[in-house]
A and B are shown apart, each in its own frame.
Chain A
């Protein structure tokens, strides 16, 4: 764990910047990886971790900045250059040939040869040798299709080690693993680091960082917001670095009395590939209240949203909307019955960037008046005039900065693209509004406007479920806060009980959040390990 002054940097990234169109993914990022250490790179979705790692591995060329490996500057124009410099990357989604053996996968692209042919025996011996050295035992002759997810990951790691990688990048390695597989992965990581390999662990899970890393670099909105030595930091401090924002102007006055229950979720279980993403959760949202769901991203919040909208089915449990059991209903029927969703991934799920703004504002309104019609002779037809009129109206009302509604949604900046999604979803007037990270990547002025609209929605009698990783946002808006961790609701805090300390403690897995704590630093780091 302790770092000696003599351990020299294996890799130094300095001043790395990268933009994609209007989005700044990395903004002057510095990262120093010491040889033989485990370095965690933390941050929320969209914080710029993946871009930084793609740059380090030669998948993306930075706009500016420098990479040094062992002190000498390098430029990677492709991953092949990075591999040659001793880097190896294990991607979140495995890249294996399922019908081939472990050994064939490991040596692929750098096969031991004999008489010009692949030397299968040497390949198998190599896999055994590497497996023993790093504690990655696996049968070299097994077919990948028969392996578990954890075993496949071992094959990916062996692939990198076979190419003599001395710097190993693991991108969200535990996302797909069971708890048992996680602990054996950590043993492998520790062993590799002890034998001189530098390991970069990309993750947003605090307990993992605390249990396996030596050093931590935290990114937020493309910038480094914290550098820590793991021994000297706490879960609460990391949460703050990942999500901290200044206190916001708009806030919930707590002046609305909740009415009838609009959303009722009971014993909901969502599983994917045998892993439970959401385990048996129940909660209600009533008219006239904003219920916040807090939690570090990837703890099942998104799956809950999908289960409410109907884009994902429940393994068990039920969802009731305005008294009707909608568990087996289609998305279309649920939307018609009264749910609107502002999704987290507005580019990938909440809009079609190649279509016009007017068309993006139309989806879901295209079968009802005034744009469409659901009865009579105009049923099934669309009025282009009404579409244009409505788009003009919403562009004006929501202050979407664009020359006209006939421009594509892809031409908008991030904040304005978000306004398109919000305008469309709010204008349904649905009894239930689910807002997932509604202000992520949005500038400060727009944040205030969005918060104001959510509060107005509630005051007008709407039920709002607000999923956010920003504690300050939840404190400003929510009447109640549910905290999710590993797919479960681990705490429910009333408006009086919710403080950044109590939410942060529950998010990081500390037991029994205390309502009296007022600062982050009072949370003991030891309480974070689970």
Chain B
């Protein structure tokens, strides 16, 4: 809790300068990353390996020119899922249902791409649109659950997500999957319904441009529109928003629909990219949802920071695999580092709450 009367030494100008510096908003996210890296180093050293070698392997693996194409595609997906988390986060809500929304998007895109027989120019846009609508509607369910029945969005999204994952898994196994295959997956989509290529790159495609456009749109809405302003007001102080006439329920509905729609679009992009089929579990196993959530938390939901924090988690994700190959450190260390970053950020929230709680005790 609060400190006893300040000793003389704490009033020294340099100490006070240091205290002001520590309160700068950049300190906490950067500090979280530094702490995570240090803890990671301790773990690696405890396992009898050299942390420097391991981290060098992470960096060189992530930025290897031969696979940079792949790294960029992962960055795009993490950016996309970071948007999914960031939009509701801006108004103080957590969407933990990214997985469910992601696979529903993949499902919608797969059905349109595989079964509609639309001409080349139409197939991809229609598939993406269908994914956005289905996943957006699914995400939006959580808003009335919160406003009408008082079920927190963080809870309903978390609990509804596995339902969607299970339904898609069932459909793939028994309804729309490839007949006679050992793996639950659809047939390969026809050429006409594959994500448009970007030059001769094999991983990165037009999906990258779509994600960048979404990020620009989020930045514009956030800083230049009435809705974005209301999102930030409600996130900063919900009572202030309600008092000022913000329709908080409608705003939550819009934010959750937009968040779900972005997840759906990411699901569609991944599904329509190589290997051009929807495979059970393939959308979830890379862990884009939680890497994106971590990136959004680290950025505090701020549009301009998301591309930057997404780089960090992309490096961990891609470089982690390289580290396992070349330095013999298990890739699970990447998950540990992600986890530590989130814990440090959560601690910050707890400390802030305590401080403001003390202030409120007047």
Q: Which residues of B contact A77 (CB under 8 A)?
A: 1
Interface residues of B in 228-249 (CB under 8 A from A): 228-230, 232-233, 236-237, 239-247
Pick the contact of A343: B4, B225, B243, B362 (CB < 8 A). Answer: B243
Pick the contact of B226: A21, A50, A366 (CB < 8 A). Answer: A366
Q: How far is the CA of A359 from the CA of B224 in the complex (A)?
A: 12
Interface residues of A in 168-199 (CB under 8 A from B): none
Write the B244-270 contact mask toward A (1 if CB under 8 angstroms, else 0).
Answer: 111100000000000000000000000
Q: Which residues of A contact B361 (CB under 8 A)?
A: 50-51, 54, 59-60
Is A270's CB within 8 Å of the partner chain B?
A: no
Contact A332 B232 (CB under 8 A): no
Q: How far is the CA of A21 from the CA of B356 in the complex (A)?
A: 11
Is A309's CB within 8 Å of the partner chain B?
A: yes
How many whole Å from B25's CB to the nearest CB in chain A? 10
Interface of A is mostly: loop
Q: Which residues of A contact B1 (CB under 8 A)?
A: 59-61, 77-78
Is A146's CB within 8 Å of the partner chain B?
A: no
Contact A332 B247 (CB under 8 A): yes
A-B contact number at CB 8 A:
99
Q: Which residues of A contact B240 (CB under 8 A)?
A: 348-352, 363
Contact B245 A20 (CB under 8 A): no
Interface with B: A34-42, A112-120, A378-386, which one? A378-386
Contact B3 A364 (CB under 8 A): no
Write the A353-389 contact mask toward B (1 if CB under 8 angstroms, else 0).
Answer: 1110001001110110000100000001110100000
Q: How far is the CA of A354 from the CA of B359 in the complex (A)?
A: 15
Q: How far is the CA of A349 from the CA of B242 in the complex (A)?
A: 9
The chain A residue with its CB closest to the CB of B4 is A61
Is A25's CB within 8 Å of the partner chain B?
A: yes
Is B328's CB within 8 Å of the partner chain A?
A: no
Q: How far is the CA of A50 from the CA of B362 in the complex (A)?
A: 5
Is B5's CB within 8 Å of the partner chain A?
A: yes
Query: How many chain B residues have a CB neighbour from A under 8 Å?
Result: 31
Give the size range of A's interface with the partner.
Answer: 35 or more
Pick the contact of A381: B226, B232, B233, B362 (CB < 8 A). Answer: B226
Is B223's CB within 8 Å of the partner chain A?
A: yes
Is A518's CB within 8 Å of the partner chain B?
A: no
Is B50's CB within 8 Å of the partner chain A?
A: no
Q: Which residues of B contact A363 (CB under 8 A)?
A: 229, 233, 240-241, 244, 246
How many whole Å from A58's CB to the nearest CB in chain B? 9
State whether A355 and B247 are in contact (beta carbons under 8 Å apart), knowing that A59-B361, A60-B1 are contacts in the complex: no
Contact B242 A311 (CB under 8 A): yes
The chain B residue with its CB closest to the CB of A78 is B1
Is B227's CB within 8 Å of the partner chain A?
A: yes
Q: How far is the CA of A46 from the CA of B361 in the complex (A)?
A: 10
Is B2's CB within 8 Å of the partner chain A?
A: yes
Pick the contact of A332: B3, B246, B359, B362 (CB < 8 A). Answer: B246
Q: Which 4 A-B pairs have the closest CB atoms?
A: A332-B245, A352-B236, A363-B244, A352-B237
A→B interface (CB under 8 Å): 20-21, 23, 25, 46, 48, 50-51, 54, 59-61, 63-64, 75, 77-78, 309, 311, 330-332, 334-336, 341, 343, 348-355, 359, 362-364, 366-367, 372, 380-382, 384
Known contacts A60-B2, A61-B4, A381-B225; 13 additional CB pairs below 8 A are A50-B361, A51-B361, A61-B3, A64-B5, A311-B242, A330-B247, A335-B244, A349-B237, A354-B237, A363-B233, A363-B241, A363-B246, A381-B224
- 21 intermolecular pairs with C-beta atoms under 8 Å apart: A20-B359, A48-B362, A51-B362, A54-B361, A61-B2, A311-B242, A331-B243, A332-B245, A332-B247, A350-B240, A351-B240, A352-B233, A355-B232, A359-B229, A363-B244, A364-B245, A380-B225, A381-B224, A382-B225, A382-B228, A384-B224
